[in-house]
Structure 1
Amino acid sequence: MPTDCIPFRETHYFSDFICDYLDQKPELEFLYNRFPTLDNFKAQIEDKALSVRAESRTVLVETLKEQYKDLNTSEATSENIETLGDNKTFTITTGHQLNLFTGPLYFLYKIISTINLTKQLKEKYPNYNFVPIYWMASEDHDFEEINYFNFKGKKIQWNSNQNGAVGHFNTEGLENVFEVVSAELGLGRNAKQLKKWFEEAYLNHNNLADATRYLANELFGEHGLVILDSDHADLKRLFIPNIKEELFDQTAFKHVSNTNKTLQDLGLKIQVNPREINFFYIDKGLRERIVFKNDVFKVNNTDITWNKSEIIEHLNLHPERFSPNVIMRPLYQEVVLPNLCYIGGGGEMIYWLQLKSNFEAQQVTFPMLLLRNSALVKTTKQSQKLEKLNISNKDLFLDRNSFINKKVRKISNIDVDFSEQIKHLEQQFKDLQQLAEQTDKSFLGAVKAQKAKQIKGLKHLEKRLLKAQKKKLADQISRCTELQEQLFPGQSLQERNTNFSELYLEFGNQLIPELMKALEPLKGDFTILTI
């Protein structure tokens, strides 16, 4: 399995903000606690150990046992759940939406990064236990973001009129999707396994949360992954003090707003903006914001209202109905888990980096933040074609136009790069400018205008010649762009578009083990591998 890697910045698919974080630029140090290195985990363990309550561990273990009672649980996962009750056990966590059939490939990369990091930590700190957690975003309500997956250029979609938290959605209507999936997958042993997973997950479970838990457990249970649905009354009860502070003091709004202003002053693009109250109210078919106006708490677009004493009483009775938004969900996670590190994508890292001041205000240990692994997976056949066409891994990351232009220049039997001629022309006009300054300065404007005209003319000729060569070499260029499109569908990263089922059809049970061997969570580069 040949592997290669390139720096995230050189892919041109990651923001300067996240690349500056990876480079540990000094101006960003105030946004995080510790940068994720193996050595830095020692101090993080010591800090977290002081803040984790025995009660939280007990509630966590009992909740997980309840959620796993109907699942075929591996020995590794069962053992990990039990060890969470031990004060020497800590978690590494990733989170993700309940995308249909896992959604884009990076769902796998997030979880593999998390599992692999726990293994590295166990080797470095053998006296402690480290458990990989997948935190299901079951309280999310953005159904349009999760109700489909892409398969070989086609969008396979589940249509439903349900509202509220997506984890509550019943799985009605997925029988029709299963028929489409079955037809698209075709025949063969790997197709049969994919169909079985889809059918078992979505046709034999009543809601989307249970279906997603089943599927993630099938894919990663043998590796000890623990899947947590935080939409649970007992877990929310642990969070009641923080919910009260949010409702009455608006702590997050004050602190995150100040951080955002600092980021804007640094010229950095912020990912999320806080609200005065960063909670939704969820119930059957309902997920609406809680707002405070005229001394009354109200659920938007409903008739539900409380005064201050009433909302406290309702919170104590039904904490499960208070759902944190993107600003408060990270705090909730760190209150209920003995967590050391959160692993996420670039966008997630940026909004987590906005939150440290709120954690400090609420006296909750801020976790280490690690950018998940990213990968491009090629088949051996694709790799051989790329080599034959003299396309490097770096070339693949070019935008389509730059990619084509570079290939034309490479394979053309004439030189279609006029940069040397332009450089020579610029030197000639530099000499002319010096001559004009010595003789008659009134000619300086004319020299400058003539220079611009001639350079523009040369660039125009270069474009025309390049266009002619593209036409002449159309067949070869077509083969190159076809390969790039296979690996960068829709001119975007494979991992953000392609579903794991496409690769599983090709590689079967070999896929996940090969990914686990190749992806190194602390390496800090984009991985390119051939299976």
Structure 2
Amino acid sequence: MPKKYTLPYSETGYFSSLICDYLQKSEKTKPFYHRYPSVENFKKQLTEKSKQFSDNQRQLLVRQLEQQYEGFQISEKTSTNIQALNDEKTFTVTTGHQLNLFTGPLYFLYKIISVLNLCKKLKTEYPEHTFVPVFWMASEDHDFEEIQYFNFEGKRMEWNRESGGAVGRMSLENMDAVFSELSNALGETEYAHHLTTLFREAYFEHKNLAEATRHLANQFFGEYGLVVLDGDDAILKKDFVSVVEKELNVQLSHQHVSETSEKLKENGYKEQVHPREINLFYLGEGVRERIIKREETYFIDNTELSFSQKEMEEELKNHPERFSPNALLRPVYQEMILPNLCYIGGGGELAYWLQLKSYFEAISLTFPIVHLRNSVLLVTEKQVEKLKKLDSSVEELFLPQQQLRTKQTKRISEIEIDFTPQREHLQQQFKDLYTLAEKTDASFIGAVAAQEKKQLNGLDNLEKRLMKAQKRKLADELERLTKLQDDLFPKENLQERVKNVSEFYLKYGEELVPMLLEELNPMENAFTIIELQP
């Protein structure tokens, strides 16, 4: 069995003050959310949401999901969950992600596992209801450069092709080079063959990136009932038309989100997403560009397309699928078409959700509970043993690398690298000088102060020079420690934001996902460290 322990998010150095304050229920954050993610609050949330989501909406959602899954082999549990959405006692818990090549960063797993585990917990608490885990594919995204690669053992595996338009619609040409590179890197083990088969099925047996990503999510999580939803759907977008109309004509979101952003700044927080006047893209074949209004004409950025007011109204009426929400309006679209209780995401995602509450209220849409996904560091038993030999710990590796090297140098140096006693002695001497100066000439005080500063700066410089000298002397041991940190925190970033699932599946295979499901607690507001057994 793996060993698990946790670290407060505020002690990791990787989470913003907004997210740390939110988790601590700081008074400063309360205006920016509707209900805090506690088990008790889900009862209130589902009662409120049930009044806003109709039987017709449920039936439409189920029909479109059935259509999206045509041609896919799905588990009995996923099929049951889709049909359960017809029932007024069924609700969803949702997460989403870009369509990264081969799932991208490791936190793809943690997002979905957080959703699965929360649904399981809610079912235990409220057995009369059904809770369906949903993965929302960001298929309308157009930032191909962000998704065209994944990392394997420090090497970037990149899909090279022309980009343009919504990534979910992109055909899967030119995958051979990535497949060949991955196959060679993985080797010939049983788990390596599982991974190459999974890659081949996803990217050579489907017509576009959205279908390939659905296949991957289904292979990893289908047996647990995960439902994958593609928002790039003409029928589902009909429910979004009323919001699009307001956005085109009144720019309501810009007003409310801007006001909220100012309040966040007043409380010392950063704005995660800057609102545009129109937070919509125009979506066409190979095109996803901003809609910009100048006087009475709508222009599609970086194209020659333009529409009069009347033409734009006709375009929306006849082709709602051509209107794509940006990062700020995507949550609104999601909450309009799902009987959703909670969105689970990373720190950056939650930060922009917290910009939206006022806008949700303005359009009379229930604001969901927003909850931080599990964050995890996977460590091997061998790595822990190496740290013990270095008299260090996993927790210390969260420090910036220079701070870690300084701390380790002070710990293992035979010479005391701390001039605090000398500073205190010097300050006492100058205290006596200040007393003398006050009895003589007041102008002498400035001279004493200047000399004190000079002497203290001199001690600081000597301490820094001694530290550098000791770091050179202890270089071998420091290099062993920083190599461990580089392995676990690649590029001084969290492991989950850089490494791909393939590195860990190669070692642990089909045991990996069940182990994570077992170890992770969706309501545990702390960073999780899991020590893996050989």
| TM-score of the aligned structures, taking structure 2 as reference length | 0.96
Deviations 1:295-315 (A, max 9, x none): 223323334333333333322
CA-CA distance at 1:323 after TM superposition: 0.7
In the alignment, the residues of structure 2 paired with residue 368 and residue 442 of structure 1 have an alpha-carbon distance, to the nearest angstrom, of 63
Rounded Cα–Cα distance in structure 1 between residues aligned with 2:446 and 2:42: 64
What is the one-letter code of the residue matched to 2:481?
Answer: C
Q: Identify if the C-alpha distance between structure 1 residues 427 and 226 changes in structure 2 by more than 3 Å, giving closer, same or farther.
A: farther
Opposite residue 31 of structure 2, the aligned amino acid is: F
Q: Distance in 2 between matches of 1:301 and 1:11?
A: 42
2:352 matched residue in structure 1 = 351
Letter in 2 for 1:292: K
Change (3 A) 1:466 1:86: same
Distance 1:525 1:235 in 2: 36
1:95 maps to: 96
The aligned amino acid for 2:276 is: R
**2:448 aligned with 1:443:** no
* Distance in 2 of aligned mates of 1:33 and 1:404: 43
**Superposition RMSD in Å:** 1.5
Range with greater deviation from structure 2 (50-59 or 294-303): 294-303
| Separation of aligned partners in 2, 1:161 and 1:416 | 56
Instruction: Name the residue aligned to 1:56.
Output: 57
Q: How far apart, in 2, do the equivalents of 1:87 and 1:117 lie?
A: 19
- Specify every segment of 5 or more residues in structure 2 that has no aligned partner in the other structure, as ranges: none
Alignment-derived partner of residue 220 in structure 2: 219
Query: Partner residue of 2:181?
Result: 180
Determine the structure 1 residue equivalent to 2:47: 46
Is 1:192 aligned to residue 199 of structure 2?
no
Matched, 1:471 2:472: yes
Counterpart in 2 of 1:528? Answer: 529
2:488 aligned with 1:496, yes or no? no
Residue 511 of structure 1 is matched in structure 2 by 512
Residue 109 of structure 1: CA displacement? 1.0
Name the residue aligned to 1:389.
390
Match of 1:309 in 2: 310
Tell me the amino acid that sits aligned with residue 256 of structure 1.
V
1:439 offset after TM fit, Å?
4.5
1:158 alignment counterpart: 159
Write out per-residue CA displacement over residues 384-433 of structure 1, whole angstroms, 9 at most, x where no aligned residue: 11122221222111111110111111112221122233233323323332
**1:235 is matched with which residue?**
236
Indicate how the Cα distance of structure 1 residues 474 and 85 shifts in structure 2: closer, same or farther if over 3 A, else same.
Answer: same
Matching residue of 1:408: 409
Query: Structure 1 stretch 300-309 or stretch 479-488: which is displaced more?
Result: 300-309
Q: Distance in 2 between matches of 1:203 and 1:429?
A: 77
Are the counterparts in 1 of residues 281 and 323 from structure 2 also a CA contact under 8 Å?
yes
State the SS of the aligned residue for 1:161.
Answer: coil
Structure 1 residue 145: Cα displacement? 0.6
Q: Give the corresponding residue for 1:10.
A: 11
Distance 1:217 1:165 in 2: 22
SS at match of 1:40: helix
Within 2, Cα distance between the matches of 1:431 and 1:134? 69
Match of 1:486 in 2: 487
Asked whether 1:116 is paired with 2:111, we answer no
Inter-partner Cα distance in structure 2 for 1:419 and 1:72: 68
Distance 2:359 2:375 in 1: 29
CA gap 1:456/1:301 in 2 versus in 1, 3 angstroms: closer
* 2:328 corresponds to 1:337: no
Which residue does 1:265 correspond to in 2? Answer: 266
- 1:70 matched residue in structure 2: 71
CA separation in 1, counterparts of 2:26 and 2:441? 51
Amino acid at match of 1:67: Q
Per the TM alignment, residue 37 of structure 1 is displaced from its structure 2 partner at its CA by 0.8
Q: Offset of 1:442 from its aligned partner?
A: 3.6
For residues 433 and 102 of structure 1, do their structure 2 counterparts lie closer, same or farther at Cα, with a shift above 3 Å needed? same
Secondary structure in 2 matching 1:239: helix
* Amino acid of the structure 2 residue aligned with 1:141: H
User: Where in structure 1 are there 5+ consecutive unaligned residues?
Assistant: none
User: How far apart are residue 474 of structure 1 and its match?
Assistant: 1.6
Matched, 1:457 2:458: yes
Q: Which amino acid aligns with 1:416?
A: I
Question: Counterpart amino acid of 1:11?
Answer: T
Q: Provide the rounded CA distance (Å) in 2 between the counterparts of 1:436 and 1:201.
A: 81
Match of 1:426 in 2: 427
Deviations 1:479-498 (A, max 9, x none): 11111111011111111111
Q: Which letter does structure 2 place at the counterpart of 1:76?
A: K
CA distance 1:298–1:461, shift in 2 (3 Å): closer
- Quote the residue 1:128 is aligned against: 129
Partner of 2:33: 32
Q: Which amino acid aligns with 2:136?
A: W
Counterpart-to-counterpart distance in 1, 2:447 and 2:527: 50
Structure 2: which amino acid aligns with 1:319?
P
Between the aligned partners of 1:68 and 1:311, the Cα distance in structure 2 is: 32
Do the aligned residues in 1 keep the contact of 2:3 with 2:530 (CA within 8 Å)? yes
Does the Cα contact within 8 Å between 2:384 and 2:394 map onto a contact in 1? no
Size of the alignment, in residue pairs?
531
Counterpart-to-counterpart distance in 2, 1:451 and 1:509 = 65
Change (3 A) 1:521 1:420: farther
1:294 to partner: Cα distance? 3.2
Code of the aligned partner of 1:306: F
Query: Do 2:111 and 2:374's aligned partners in 1 also have CA atoms closer than 8 Å?
Result: yes
Structure 1 counterpart SS, 2:150: strand
Question: What is residue 326 of structure 2 aligned with on the other side?
Answer: 325
CA distance in 2, matches of 1:319, 1:61: 19
Amino acid at match of 1:241: S
Query: Where does residue 108 of structure 2 map in the other structure?
Result: 107
Counterpart contact for 2:18–2:29, Cα < 8 Å: no
Of all paired residues, the percent bearing the same amino acid is 53
